[in-house]
Amino acid sequence: MLFASETNMEFHRILVPVAGSPADDEAVRLACRLARKEKGKIWAVYVIAVTRTLPVDAAIESEIKKAEEILDHVETVAEDQDYEMETDLLQSREAGPTIVDEAVERGVDLILMAVTYKQRFGQFSLGNVVPYVLKNAPCSVILYHQHRE
Amino acid sequence: MKVIIVGCGRVGAHLAGLLDAEGHEVTILDNDAYSFRRLSPTFGGTAQLGNGIDQEALKRAGIETADAFVVVTQGDNRNIMAAQIAKYIFNVPRVVCRIYDPLRQELYQALGLESICPTVVFADMLKEKLLGKV
Amino acid sequence: MYIVIVGGGRVGYYLTKALLDEGHEVVVVEKNAAVCTAINEELGSICVRGDGCEATMLAEIGTGRADMLMAVTGDDEDNLIACQVAKYKFNVRRTIARIRNPKNEALFKKLGVDVAISTTNIILEHIEEEVPTHPLTHLMAIEGERLAVVEVKITPELATVGKPIKQLSVPPEARLILIIGANDKYRMPTPNAALKAGDRIIALTPHEKEAELRIALRGA
């Protein structure tokens, strides 16, 4: 087991922002393993980022449906690990600040998120959310980057 | 014809030369005297220092009696504003401006401002050339 | 209200801050990347990098549902075009432009801008809200003259509280115009009128006498 007792990786409250990628599943499983030892709490959170053409509190049915499916799915992933995880659906203009706010509000000691391989203008890109979270997180952050097939 | 040109860049200076050679009365305005180096040595019109969106400067250039007004500075917004001053404040009979941004040009064209968008014109010309239609 | 602000300079920044405090939804369009980053760090993610005169940019930030667009860049022509694009392409009900050249006020109105402000009451009100402790605030510059209408706040700790105006060494070049007391009750600055804590004194002064005036009214 990778996270043996000699490591100091002990987390009691973990926030897992999910985006609907296959790597989310692994991030959730990893969170379950890290939390189990401490019987910690895990929240999976999905942020609907609303474009400025709509009011921030607009009810976008298709987005809500998609978000709920993603959260339901990661909940079953946690259940398979015999872990009860809470899920949260949030809506804002930008995911980064919302994830950080949520981490502060919940008083988490770890944000664990999956990174998917993306290219922008032919270059590898982390996007906007991950750098923002790394820069502004009030706690430790673990990124899980899935091997690219 | 009495013509005022605002902006003594390559286009402005060249146009000034063409109109002057045909015997028109040309006044060219620029807010940088160094720009007037682009005028041909044979240019017989007036080169005047001044801001094309300043109504006083335009009056000094004789806009109140001008037959035509052309704005070709580097800034789209400056061009649009100067053209609107000429058209709506001084009622110059013929006003044409350059607008690089196609969307902006489309909007102001619809609002009744005569303009040319070099971006669209030149891209079209390049396309025609590449596809061998010319 | 949803308000689009074009230009994230000092005016735009304070305006945005004040409008956010009042609970409005605000987005700022700013060309300069460094200015954008600074605003986003200060005020949350509300600044978008781009050209506020470009229709695509304005469409992207939802100008179509905006109640108001305020163009407050330092260039009159940019402010005019931003307002016109907002008005004629996106049917924004109210457009407000900041102008540098006071001669442009009539022109802007003629060209469809709802409000053109050279030395603006609206914007300054917001700036003032931002600096409530500032002892001397500019309310209006008198164009062409070197005079300004200023407001001086009388705070409770000042030695001048309770003193009649005739005992204060107000510079002769400056004129006190009005005293606005608590609850917005105003009185005339007669020689025997005494300053009270919470008073705001409106005065006309040459720029170079501002410091002297401030010291006269607030003590050194």
CB contact under 8 A, B77 and C78: yes
Residues of C in contact with B55 (CB under 8 A): 103, 107
> Which residues in C have their CB inside 8 Å of a CB on A?
2, 25, 27, 44-46, 48, 59-62, 64-65
Cβ contacts of B126 within 8 Å, gap of 6 or more: none
Distance in angstroms (rounded) separating the CA atoms of residues B107 and C19: 30
Task: Write out pLDDT tens, residues C70-100.
Answer: 999 999 999 999 999 999 999 999 999 999 8
The share of chain B scoring above pLDDT 70, in percent, equals: 99
The share of chain C scoring above pLDDT 70, in percent, equals: 91
- What count of CB pairs under 8 Å joins A to C? 25
Top-tier CATH class for B2-130? alpha beta
CATH number of the domain at A13-145, please? 3.40.50.620
What are the residue boundaries of the structural domains of chain A, listed by start?
Answer: 13-145
Nearest to C8 by CA among C60, C63, C82: C82
- The rounded radius of gyration (Å) of the Cα atoms in chain C is 20
CA distances from A12 to A46, B123, C137 (A): 20, 61, 52
Distance in angstroms (rounded) separating the CA atoms of residues A71 and C102: 57
Nearest to A142 by CA among A48, A28, A45: A28
- What backbone torsions phi and psi does residue C112 show, to the nearest 5 degrees? 105, 0
User: Strands C200-206 and C147-153, how do they pair?
Assistant: antiparallel
Residues of C in contact with A52 (CB under 8 A): 27, 48, 60-62
Check pLDDT > 80 for residue C144.
no
Residue B55 CA, chain-centre distance (Å), reads: 16
CB contact under 8 A, C27 and A52: yes
Q: Is A62 exposed, middle or buried (0-12, 13-18, 19+ CB in 10 A)?
A: exposed
What are the residue boundaries of the structural domains of chain B, listed by start?
Answer: 2-130
Q: Would you state the structure tokens that stand for residue C49, as one six-digit string?
A: 């990098």
Which pLDDT belongs to residue C51? 95
Q: Would you state the structure tokens that stand for residue C36, as one six-digit string?
A: 């954008």
CB contact under 8 A, B81 and C88: no
Task: Write out pLDDT tens, residues B80-134.
Answer: 999 999 999 999 999 999 999 999 999 999 999 999 999 999 999 999 999 986 5
- What count of CB pairs under 8 Å joins B to C? 51
Strand extents, DSSP E, chain B: 2-6, 25-30, 46-49, 68-71, 94-98, 115-116
CB contact under 8 A, B89 and C110: yes
* DSSP state for residue B23 in the 8-state scheme: T
User: Strands B94-98 and B115-116, how do they pair?
Assistant: parallel
Q: Would you state the structure tokens that stand for residue C75, as one six-digit string?
A: 């260039």
Which pLDDT belongs to residue C123? 55
Residues of A in contact with C61 (CB under 8 A): 52-53
C94 to chain A nearest CA, in Å?
18
Interchain contact B101–C (C-beta under 8 A): yes
Name all domains of chain C by residue range, CATH numbers in brackets. Answer: 2-124 (3.40.50.720), 134-218 (3.30.70.1450)
Cα angle at A130 between A16 and A3, to 5 degrees?
A: 50
Q: Is the pTM of this model over 0.80?
A: no
Nearest to A115 by CA among A102, A98, A103, A133: A133
CB contact under 8 A, C61 and A53: yes
CB contact under 8 A, B78 and C77: yes
